[in-house]
Structure 1
Amino acid sequence: MDNQGKIVTLESYYDPMLAQIILARLQANGIDCFIADDNTIGANPFYNQAIGGIKIKVFEHDLEKCRQILAEQIDTGDEPDEAPQL
């Protein structure tokens, strides 16, 4: 990441696995981002609430694009597209 502007917190998560999934989804869509505070919480999970969870950091100019990406529905292929006809 080069000097692209101000870095802000997109979201905070109390579930480390969910934070990693969201991070991967953003990166797959070309967003430069990283996770903050995951090492602290990994070392002592009791700090999770005290420090406000694991934070996903993005550039401020990418904030709206990130929200659009996260608002999109993911097709996992597990559910049928339409309800079966009875």
Structure 2
Amino acid sequence: MNGFIKVAVFNYQHEYAILQLLLEQAEIRFFFQNETVLGVMPFYSNAVGGIILKVHPEDLEEAHQIIDDFKTRENLRTV
């Protein structure tokens, strides 16, 4: 997955569950680096740098727009 660009970092999988669905619906090419490791050992999040969302360069602008919209939606805020 060379060439993909770091867009966001999360500590736990539940923090990006809805965002992942939104990215998939928009057919954005992305992946979460360290997702499997931290799914098994969640307390290692700080040690490995968190779960990193990486997006294909051609989808970067659209991904940023989806993330910005996600942040501003009051009904989707996590507790």
Larger radius of gyration: 1
Q: TM-score, normalised by structure 2?
A: 0.74
Aligned residue number for residue 47 of structure 2: 50
Task: State how far apart, in whole Å, the 2-side matches of 1:27 and 1:8 are.
Answer: 17
The count of residues paired between Structure 1 and Structure 2 equals 73
Normalised TM-score (structure 1): 0.69
> Percent identity at matched positions?
26
Task: Kindly report which structure 2 residues correspond to 1:3-14, keeping only aligned pairs within 5 A, or say none.
Answer: 6-14=3-11
Structure 1's consecutive aligned runs of 4 or more residues displaced over 6 angstroms after TM superposition are none
Take 1:53 and 1:75, find their aligned partners in 2: how far apart are those partners?
A: 25
Which residue, 3, 21, 28 being the options, matches 2:25? 28
Deviation of 1:75 after TM superposition, in Å, equals 7.6
Task: Give the Cα–Cα distance (whole angstroms) in 2 for the partners of residues 42 and 75 of structure 1.
Answer: 27
Q: Which runs of 5+ in 2 are unaligned?
A: none
Question: Aligned equivalents of 2:32 and 2:45: distance in 1?
Answer: 14
CA-atom RMSD in angstroms: 2.2
